[in-house]
Amino acid sequence: MTARLNPEVAALVEARLRYYRDLGSYDLYRRGLPPAALEDSEPAATAQSEVTKTLPPTPHVTTTATESEIPDLSPRASRSAVSAALSPAQALQLLREEIGDCTRCPLAFLGRHTIVFGDGDPHARLMFVGEGPGADEDAQGLPFVGRAGQLLNNMITAMGLQREQVYIANIVKCRPPQNRTPEPEEARTCVPFLFRQIEIIKPEVIVALGSTAATYLLEVKSSLAALRGRIHMAHNSKLIVTYHPAYLLRDPRQKKEAWIDLQIAMRELGLKPAKPAGD
């Protein structure tokens, strides 16, 4: 005969599971309940006491919502449906928590100090994607805060926006040693998290900064010259390819070409260049 939970304890556990599912957590594992939690054993009060020792305080649950008003956050629900039930900021926070102190690829063991998740407006119409964090980014936990980041900020300002109005992320979220290009294993392990960020934010336009970003966003290997100058479609967004700001620091002559690329994005978003100071 299969042992069953005392009805009071079963109701408590069911409420707690709903609470965790509302938070987006589905991978829960059974510990093995003490004998007191089973029927025909010790009193229900003892069973409840044993179970609640391992659970956080029960949240207040209202019962005014009808079944049709409650979003489906059960394990059978798709990831996109779960994200749609949360605000973009909440969904991004849950994704960051899922990544945790990541050890999924070798970069975790090659000198990384901080995971650089992303930065900016969760509702951004425009998203920039680079290759990976550098030393300054690894120290601060934010993307594009070094010299290349300062140039990117200037590029964003020239487009008539502020950094706070866009979202910035990278193909990999940990710094590769000596700022080398991420290895395929590293990029393939990390880029699904970027794709989920894109799915949550739903930017109208993505600007791929450099060939590494373009390769993994478009899932094609091609030269930067072959990809620039036109609009691609990727991840339900229009995607434009341009030079990485770090490359522009090494070869300032290409800034004019990068500005041409950014103007494509501006036309798609209906943006006008910022007026020079004093005008």
Q: Any idea which residue has 């020792």 for tokens?
A: 53
| C-beta atoms surrounding 270 within 10 Å | 9
119-120: strand order across its sheet: 119-120, 167-170, 126-130, 205-209, 237-242, 232-234
In this model, does residue 4 exceed pLDDT 70? no
pLDDT digits (tens, 9 = 90+) for 263-277: 999 999 999 998 776
Per-residue model confidence (pLDDT) at position 275: 78
Which pLDDT band, with edges at 50, 70 and 90, does 279 fall under? low
pLDDT digits (tens, 9 = 90+) for 142-168: 999 999 999 999 999 999 999 999 999
CA distance linking residue 194 with residue 28, whole number of Å: 25
* Residue, of 89 and 81, whose pLDDT is higher: 89
User: Nearest 5 degrees, angle CA 67-CA 74-CA 197?
Assistant: 115
Per-residue model confidence (pLDDT) at position 56: 45
Q: HSE on the CB side for 277, CA within 13 Å? A: 1
* Residue, of 29 and 158, whose pLDDT is higher: 158
Q: Do 126 and 211 touch, CB atoms closer than 8 A?
A: no
Q: Any idea which residue has 């991978």 for tokens?
A: 27
Q: Three-class SS of residue 168?
A: strand
Q: Do 38 and 13 touch, CB atoms closer than 8 A?
A: no
CA distance linking residue 110 with residue 124, whole number of Å: 32
CA distance linking residue 147 with residue 163, whole number of Å: 15
Length of the chain: 279
Q: What values do phi and psi take at 83, rounded to 5?
A: -60, -40
Tell me yes or no: is domain 80-269 CATH 3.40.50.300.
no
- Mean pLDDT value of segment 109-113: 96
CA distances (Å), 26 to each of 75, 98, 209, in order? 6, 11, 35
The DSSP secondary-structure symbol of 118 reads: -
Per-residue model confidence (pLDDT) at position 38: 37
Sign of CA dihedral 96, 99, 103, 107: negative
Q: Any idea which residue has 């979003």 for tokens?
A: 71
In this model, does residue 222 exceed pLDDT 70? yes
Domain chopping of the chain, boundaries? 7-76, 80-269
Per-residue model confidence (pLDDT) at position 276: 72
Beta-strand (E) ranges in 99-179?
119-120, 126-130, 167-170
Per-residue model confidence (pLDDT) at position 164: 98
Per-residue model confidence (pLDDT) at position 199: 98
Q: Three-class SS of residue 243?
A: coil
Q: What values do phi and psi take at 70, rounded to 5?
A: -90, 120
Per-residue model confidence (pLDDT) at position 10: 62
Longest C-alpha distance within the chain, in Å?
Answer: 84
Per-residue model confidence (pLDDT) at position 68: 41
Q: What is the pTM of this model?
A: 0.72
Q: Averaging pLDDT over each range in 4-18, 65-79, 215-229, which range is the top one?
A: 215-229
